Chains A and B, each alone.
Chain A
Amino acid sequence: MVLTKQQNYWQNLAKQFAESEVKPKVNEMEKQGEFPLFFMKKLGELGILGIGFPEKYGGQNADSFSFILAVKEISKVWASLGLSIGAHLLGTNPIYFAGTEEQKKHYLIPLVRGEMLGAFGLTEPSSGSDAASSRTSAVSVNGSYLLNGRKVFTTSASYASTFVVSALTSREKGKKGISAFILERNYPGLMIAKKEEKLGLRASDTSGLILDGCQVPKENLLGLEGDGFRVFLQTLDAGRLGIAGWALGIAEAAFEQMLDWAKKNEVDSGLMDEHEWEAGMIAEAATKLEAALLLAQEACRVKDTGQFYIKEASMAKYFASTLAVEVCDAALKIIGCSALTNDLPVERYFRDAKLGEIGEGTSEIQKLVIAREVLKTSGRLVPA
C-alpha cells in the first residue's frame, strides 16, 4: 500500500510510541484492568488524538487515514488503549460537527489536545441497535435542561471529564425529538453506575451513567433541539472507521504471532509438501488484511472529500471486525494449545477482537446499512 508522507509520519510515530512506551506495560495493566489515562494524555501531547482536526482547534490538520493508521498501530500493541482513543473521539467529534465556536473553544480544544477525556453516552438498557428508541429525557426549566435516564456501556465513563449524551426533548417527534448535550463530570445529578466486567478489553472502562435530574446549562445543548440523531449518526460514521482501524490492529498483531510461530517451526521450508494447510491460512489472512486496509483507506478518501461515506464506513468496519475474529481464530489454530494460555498474547487478541463485531453497530446493523445504501444507489457496488 502506498502511503503519503503525512500518513507515513503518523503511522511511524504511533508505532514507535506503542512499541517503546506502551508495550512494556500492557500485560500488567491489562491483567489489573488499569485504565490507560496516562497514555491518553501522552497521545494528546503527541498530537495523535488531534490528527484529523484543524489547527485552530488544536489539531494537526492531517487526513482521516493518517488517524486510522495511528489507531491501528496502537491497537496492535494494546486494544484497550486503541478503544479508549475511539471512545474519546466519539465524545469529541459531536462538538466538532455541531458545536458553537464558544463550545469548541471551551471543550473541543482541550479534548483534541488530550487535556480532557471525552465519552459518549448513547446506548441505554433497552436501546442498543435501535438508537432512536432512547428514553432519557431532557426538560427545559429556568435556563437549564434537567436530564433523567440511564446510559449503559459508556466507554471510559469512569474517567471522562466530559460526556456527549443523547436525550429526548420531545417524545412525540420520534428521532426528531432527540437532542445532544455536553455534560461535565461534576454536574449535579450525574452519577457513574456499575463498571462492566467483560470478555476482553479489561483495561478499557465500560460503565453506566445515571442521570437523576442532572442539571445542564442551556448553552450546553449541541446544535438545535432535535439535531441529536443526525449528529450521532455522523459521529458513528467516523467511529466506525475508528473501529475498522482498531480491528485491523488486532488482526495484524495476531497475524504476526502466526508468522512468528510458522517461522520458528520452519513452516516456510516445507510449504509445498507438509505445510499446505498453514500456508493456506497465512495466505488467506494476508490477502484479507490488504483488502481490509484498502476498504478503510477508501472510506477515508470519500470522507475527506466531504461526501457521504456511510456505506464505505460500514463496509470497512464490517470487513475488518469480521477479519480480526477470523485471524485470531486462525492464529489459535496454527499455534495450538500454547496460544490458549496467557504466555502468548493470542488469547487476549481473541477475547478483544469479538467486540469489533458488536460495538458501534453490530455486524448485522452494518449489513443493513450497506444493503440500504447499495439498494438506494441502484447497484453501483464498486466506487468509480
Chain B
Amino acid sequence: MLVKGAGISFDLSEDHLMIQDMVRKFAEKEVSPGAGERDRSMEFPRDICSKLGELGLMGVNTPTEYGGAGMDSISYAIIIEELSRACASTGVVAAVQNTLAQLPLYRFGTEELKRKYLPDLAAGKKIGAYCLTEPSSGSDAGSLQTMAQKNGDFYFLNGQKLFVTNGMAADFFIVYATIDKSKGNKGISAFVVERTFPGFKIVRKEEMLGVRASGTAQIAFENCRVPVSNLIGEEGDGFKIALTTLDSGRISIASQAVGIAQGAYDAALKYSKERSQFGKTISNFQFVQEMLVDMITYIEAARLLVYRSSYLKDKGVPFSKEASMAKYFASTMSEKATSHALQIHGGYGYTKDYPVERFYRDARVTEIYEGTTEVQKMVIARNILGG
C-alpha cells in the first residue's frame, strides 16, 4: 500500500553510493578471499573487525560523541548487505557489534556506561555480543530464567545463554536476566557483563549449518559478579530494551539476507553465462532464466523493504511492522534465491569449489535468528489486526 509517509524514494544519495562503493571494494578485497576458509575452520574474523572499526563501520549508527560514525540506517543496511554478500558470517558479526551490542547502550545506558564501552566497540577494538536466548526461552523471550540478585554494590547472575553470536570472541556482553520471575516481562533487566567478570563462563562453541565463523557460543553465569553501575536503564527495563533493540536487529538480518542472496545471484549469473550444455550457454535455457529472474526480482523487492524500514526508523516513526516485513520477506527470499543459485551450478554447486553451497547454508539462519519467520508473521498480524 502506498500511503503518506511510506517513504518512497528510488535514488540513493551521493553519500549512500559512496559508502556502498567503499564497503563493496573493502569486502571484495579483504572479506571475500578468506570467506570459504573461515567457513571451514570456523575462525572468527577478528582482523576484519579491527579493519572495519578503523573504517568507522563498527559503530555506524552510534553517535559521534561516543566514537561512532553517526550515520543513518540506510547506510547501515547498505554496509551489512555488502559485507554479507562477501561473507555472511562477517555480516552477522558486524550486525551484532553495531546494533545488538551498542544500541542498548546508546539508547538506554547511563553517560558513564556510554563513555566506558561505546568508543572501543565502535572502533572495533573490543567485540560485543548479546545474550537473550536461553535453552527454554527462544521466541518467548519473556520467559527467560537467568536470575540477577542484588547484593550490595553488585548483581549476581546465574543462568545459561544459547546461540550467542560473537560469543567466542566478545569482550562485552549485553545480558538479560530477571530480578524477579513473578514479575514476568517487568522483571527483566539488562546488564553489561565483561568477559573477565568472575563467574562468567564460555560453555562451548556451536558447530552450525551456516554462519560458521560467527563465533556462536553457549555461555553460563555462575554467580557472575556485575557492578550495580552496569545495569542498563532501570530494573525492569530489560524487556523494552530487548524489543527496541530487536526491531533494529531485524533490519540488520534482512540486510544480511539480501546480501547473501545478491552474492549467490552474482555467482549464478556469471556461471550461467560461462557454462555450456546442448551447444549453448545455460543462460539460454528458460528454466535457468526463470530462476535468475525470480532471484533478482525478489532481491530488489526485499532491498526496497529494507530501505523503507530503515527510512522510517530514521524518521523516528514506528517501524516495527515494516522491519518485520523486511526480515520475513528478505529471509524467505534468500533461502529460495540461494537454492536457485546452487541449482543453476548443478553438480559443481554441491561442491566447495564454488561459494554457492556456503550461501545456501548461510541463508537458512536468517529465517530463524532475531525472531523466526513465524514470529515476524505474528508481529505483522498483531500490527494489522490490532491488539
Contact = CB atoms under 8 A, between A and B. Distances in A.
Contacts of B278: 129-130, 133
A196 B353 contact: yes
Contacts of B162: 337
Tell me which of B288, B357, B365, B373 has the highest count of chain A C-beta atoms within 10 A of its own C-beta.
Answer: B357
Interface in A106-148: 123, 126-130, 133
A21 interface: no
Given A351-B209, A363-B343, A367-B287, A336 B351 contact: no
Interface string A350-384: 11001101110011100100000000000000000
B368 A198 contact: no
A341 B365 CA distance: 11
B247 interface: no
A358 B209 contact: no
B326 to A, nearest CB: 19
Contacts of A340: 208-210, 364-365, 368
Nearest to B133: A337
Contact of B351 (A198, A277, A337): A198
A153 interface: yes
Interface of A: 123, 126-130, 133, 152-153, 196-200, 206, 277, 325, 329, 332-333, 336-337, 340-342, 347, 350-351, 354-355, 357-359, 362-364, 367
Contacts of A197: 351-353
B312 to A, nearest CB: 28
Contacts of A196: 351-353
Nearest to A329: B335
Contact of A133 (B163, B277, B365): B277
A199 B347 contact: no
Contacts of B209: 340-341, 347, 350-351
Contacts of B361: 199, 351
B369 interface: yes
B277 to A, nearest CB: 4
B228 to A, nearest CB: 32
A199 B350 contact: yes
A125 to B, nearest CB: 9
A354 B372 contact: no
A362 B367 contact: no
A277 B343 contact: no
A341 B350 contact: no
Contacts of A329: 335
Interface string B260-295: 000000000000000011110000010110000000
Contacts, number: 96
Interface in B326-354: 335, 339, 342-343, 346-347, 349-353
Contacts of B288: 364
A123 B347 contact: yes
B374 interface: yes
Given A133-B277, A196-B352, A336-B372, 14 more contacts: A129-B278, A130-B277, A130-B278, A196-B351, A333-B374, A336-B138, A336-B368, A337-B368, A337-B369, A340-B209, A340-B210, A341-B209, A351-B209, A358-B343
A129 B277 contact: yes
A124 to B, nearest CB: 11
B273 to A, nearest CB: 15
Interface centre among A123, A152, A337 (most CB of B within 10 A): A337
A129 B276 CA distance: 10
Nearest to A127: B277
A19 to B, nearest CB: 25
Contacts of B335: 329
12 contacts: A123-B347, A128-B346, A197-B352, A197-B353, A336-B139, A337-B163, A341-B207, A354-B342, A354-B350, A355-B350, A358-B350, A363-B343
- Ranked 6 nearest A-B pairs via Cβ: A130-B277, A199-B357, A197-B352, A347-B209, A364-B287, A196-B351
A217 to B, nearest CB: 31
A199 B206 CA distance: 18
Contacts of B347: 123, 128, 152-153, 358-359
B360 interface: yes
Contacts of B342: 199, 354, 358
Contacts of B139: 336
Contacts of A206: 351
A206 B352 CA distance: 12
Interface in B151-174: 162-163
B276 A126 contact: yes
B294 to A, nearest CB: 14
A325 B339 CA distance: 10
Nearest to B40: A197
B372 A333 contact: yes
A363 B344 CA distance: 11
B4 to A, nearest CB: 34
Contact of A358 (B207, B349, B367): B349
Nearest to A342: B207
Nearest to A328: B364
A351 B351 CA distance: 11
A23 B77 CA distance: 45
A128 B353 CA distance: 16
Nearest to B343: A357
Residue of A336, A351, A355 with most chain B CB atoms under a 10 A cut-off: A336
Nearest to A196: B351
A328 to B, nearest CB: 10
Contact of A332 (B279, B349, B352, B364): B364
A86 to B, nearest CB: 15
A341 B208 contact: yes
Contacts of B207: 341-342
A346 to B, nearest CB: 9
